Amino acid sequence: MAWNLINLLLSLLWFSAGILKIAGIGTPSDIPFGGVFLVIGAVFLWGVFEDPVDRPKRLSHTYVGGMLAFWLGIYSAVNLIFYQQTLYFDSGAVILSFVSFLLGIKAKRKIEAMR
Amino acid sequence: MTIKVALMGNPNVGKTTLFNALTGSRQHVANWPGVTVEKKEGVALYKGFRIHVVDLPGIYTLGSKSLDEQIARDYLLFESPDVVVVIADAVNPEQGLYLLLQILELRSDVILVMNAVDELEREGSRLNRYELEKHLGVHVIPTVATKREGVSELLDTIIHVHQTRPAHQPVRFRYDQTVENTIEQLEKVILSKCENLNVPARWLAIRHIEGDEIVQWFCESLPPIEGNERKKLSLQIARSRYDHINVIIREAYSGKSAPKRLPLDEAIDHVLTHKYLGIPIFFTIMYLIFSFTFKVAQPLSDLIDISVSRLAEFAKASLGENWLAALFSDGIISGVGAVLVFTPNIFVMFLGLGILEESGYLPRAAFVIDRIMYALKLSGRSFMSLILGFGCNVPAILSTRAISDPRERLVTILVSPFVTCSARLPIYVLLAGLFFPQNAGSVLFLIYASSVFLAAVSSVLLNRVLFKGEPVPLIMELPRYRRPTVKGLLNYSWSKGRHFLQKAGTIILIASIAIWFLGSFPPGNVENSLAARIGKFLEPLFKPLNYDWRITTALIFGTAAKEIVVSTLSTFYSSEGLSFTESLRNSIDPSTALSLMFFVLAYIPCFATIAAIRSETQSDKWTLVSLIYGLVVAYLLAYLVKVVTGLWLGI
């Protein structure tokens, strides 16, 4: 249940960020980059719909989503440091990526413990 | 004394890593099958012996159909190595042992290397090498090739096996009685009809039952075996071998049985190869790599740009106002510097692709893309070759040797030049950064995605118009995921990126000097120079695309190496008071810039790629088809982009 909630919450946050990026609200519009946020959101959301009994499958979505978020976080951090386009949006993306990454690592440990 | 050693094994078990550890070479290693498509040779000097090691392409069986597999098999049969080292994956040994059993029927001066034993132990399993030796009758060496563990013992064993060679006899592995009866009958025929046999008659009989065409080479007059009978006997042979392997594994492994797949790997694959999520994830990853290529490298590129400009100014100031100063500052420094500016972009892109390769993601991407490729009459194996083209088209074309279907191989070779190589990256980064600064990463991704799309559409066309038939479905063993190491990634990006630097110091340097001379003589107005005359001669052809003589000349020189397009533009667009980039921005509009990027994407590949197409197709006709097709597609595509973006941007 807890991981379902985490996946759902993360997917909502990533979807929201993606919509802001595509629509250009609080940040310049960038459709392909916004698409990346949506894909990460979709990876988390799909985890919610996995078979509740098959825990590794549900957790795998959190892990892979977290890994993708990690790279997007680095990209956003580069944007923030070198280009300083949108302070709030990029900072938010970095924080969201970091949180997703940490949860992804936790999910990975849980999967490994299930051997 | 020289000992000739052949390294054999399944794809992606660490043959090249072991080869590098034995010989101190730095051959490219990656975490996906089919990296080695030709044999590589190196030498290890050890205890007074000169050990000549040959790294062969990975094969699953000795009865192989694709070109790289044939190379490995033919080396074993016709080049007579002194010792054969078979490398098997300690975690997943079945396929490796299967190949070993086949080789042991041919010869027994063989050493079995069980690689990656550290990963096996991490999984809680243990390998009893002596038990394996007892069952197989060969020396078994556990290794961790990445850490050079077991390498000295292997070298000692190679020497030992070589010295005791005459004592070794081929292993006589027994099959079911029905199979044995057929083998016996065939053996009699072989011994009576075929003279000067240098392979065991029993081995030849088994290969004949398994339908290997190589048998004809040794013995032409063997009685044919009826199709169903052959199928039945082949299945029995395979079943017997696997039964034997299972017994060996059961007795040689302790702890857990040899694990096939790790739970984490399975969990990751569930998402990365997902029916619906797999493709969007792949595009997301590629988008991030190309965005990184632009954004992360840009500050470093700017730094190099400033340094090059300062150096050019310094050269001009130091040497005075004469032709030599102009040659140094405008020709050599600005020409080569204009290309060197993009070195960080090249390295960052290869770092990204290196992560994909080393982690083991690329075969998954091939698996995911296979669905689309199959619909386009290509298999995921072609995709693996095409994605190699992001680095350089030449290894991409060579890697098609791993494609077993000749039709599919030819199509992949012909469409490979459309996959945009790293030499073209400087042109894209220059134009995207200059004309689309806010969306440069997205433009870069669009160009790369279009190049793959173009390759795919072209293969559909070629398949529909020229060839008929269905692609071979992709069957591939997915490698284990591995965490990429910093050393491995730096090696990877350096091995790929240094070619760019080498080219800057050789062909681009020479081209920059040549272009400067052509642009400076006869002295006076550049518009009357030799280069201008060449460009103006062809300018009318490119008028619909809005390319002036300078772009036309740059495209002509770019056929030698694509980076030269940038150095040529930098020579011709530099004018008093304005930098090359400012001058370029004032001279062409964004729609022309985008159209130029698409033209460069598709037009004639560099000389090295043309030579690779010629040597791999062995056909002037197909080489010419590839060139003309690329030129026509480039022109039409560039025109289309020019018109559409012109309308869009209101130009």
ipTM of the complex: 0.95
* Dihedral (Cα; B312, B316, B317, B322), 10-degree rounding: 180
d(CA A1, CA B433): 47
| Class of the CATH domain delimited by B177-255 | mainly alpha
d(CA B225, CA B210): 10
CA-wise closest residue to B152 among B38, B46, B275: B46
pLDDT for the residue A62: 95
d(CA B450, CA B598): 9
Q: In chain A, which among 45-84 make CB contacts under 8 A with chain B?
A: 46, 56-57, 59-61, 63-64, 68, 71-72, 74-75, 78-79, 82-83
Interchain proximity A114–B263, CB inside 8 Å:
yes
Contact between B403 and B410 (Cβ < 8 Å): no
Residues in chain A, overall count: 115
Give residue B425's identity as a one-letter amino acid code.
L
Contact between B431 and B641 (Cβ < 8 Å): no
What are the beta bridge partners of residue B254? Answer: B126
pLDDT for the residue B360: 85
Residue in the structure block whose two tokens are 């956003």: A76
Using an 8 Å CB-CB cutoff, list chain B residues near A86: none
Question: Phi/psi at B220 (nearest 5 deg)?
Answer: -80, -30
Looking at the complex, report in whole angstroms how far the Cα of residue A75 sits from the nearest Cα belonging to chain B. 7
Residue in the structure block whose two tokens are 């700017």: B302
What are the beta bridge partners of residue B8? Answer: B86
CA-wise closest residue to A24 among A65, A71, A85, A70: A85
Question: Phi/psi at B459 (nearest 5 deg)?
Answer: -70, -35
Q: Is A108 at the interface with chain B, CB within 8 A?
A: yes
Interchain proximity B263–A59, CB inside 8 Å:
no
d(CA B143, CA B122): 14
- In this complex, the residue of B268, B287, B438 whose CB is nearest that of residue A60 is B268
Q: CB under 8 Å to B68, separation ≥6 — which residues?
A: B34, B36, B37, B38, B57, B58, B59, B401, B402
What are the beta bridge partners of residue B42? Answer: B53
- In this complex, the residue of B271, B292, B299 whose CB is nearest that of residue A82 is B299
Looking at the complex, report in whole angstroms how far the Cα of residue B276 sits from the nearest Cα belonging to chain A. 10
Give residue B211's identity as a one-letter amino acid code.
G
d(CA B297, CA B342): 8
Interchain proximity B441–A40, CB inside 8 Å:
no
Interchain proximity A35–B287, CB inside 8 Å:
yes
Contact between B445 and B290 (Cβ < 8 Å): yes
d(CA B553, CA B575): 17
Average pLDDT over residues A10-34: 93
Hey, how many other C-beta atoms are within 10 angstroms of the C-beta on B11? 22
Instruction: Looking at B273-330, list the stretches that DSSP marks H as alpha helix, in order from N- to C-terminal side.
Output: 278-295, 298-319, 323-326
pLDDT for the residue B441: 83
Q: Across the 651 residues of chain B, what is the mean pLDDT of every consecutive 10-residue run?
A: 90 84 71 58 90 87 71 83 92 88 88 90 85 89 90 94 72 83 89 80 87 80 81 88 89 67 80 91 90 85 88 85 83 85 87 86 82 69 75 81 78 89 89 88 88 85 72 66 84 80 84 86 81 89 91 90 87 75 88 94 89 89 92 94 85 61
pLDDT for the residue A101: 97
CA-wise closest residue to B119 among B259, B265, B17: B259
Domain boundaries, chain B: 2-164, 177-255, 278-474+484-649
Question: Phi/psi at A27 (nearest 5 deg)?
Answer: -165, 150
- For residues B16-29, one letter each, b for 16 or more C-beta atoms within 10 angstroms of the residue's C-beta and e for the rest, the string is bbbbbbbbebebbb
Q: Which CATH architecture has domain B2-164?
A: 3-Layer(aba) Sandwich (3.40)
**Looking at chain B, which residue has its C-alpha nearest residue A37?**
B284
d(CA B277, CA A49): 13
Using an 8 Å CB-CB cutoff, list chain A residues near B290: none
- In this complex, the residue of B280, B296, B446 whose CB is nearest that of residue A78 is B296
d(CA B49, CA B1): 5
Instruction: Looking at B278-424, list the stretches that DSSP marks H as alpha helix, in order from N- to C-terminal side.
Output: 278-295, 298-319, 323-326, 334-340, 343-359, 361-375, 380-388, 393-398, 406-415
For the record, the structure tokens of B207 come out as 């290969």
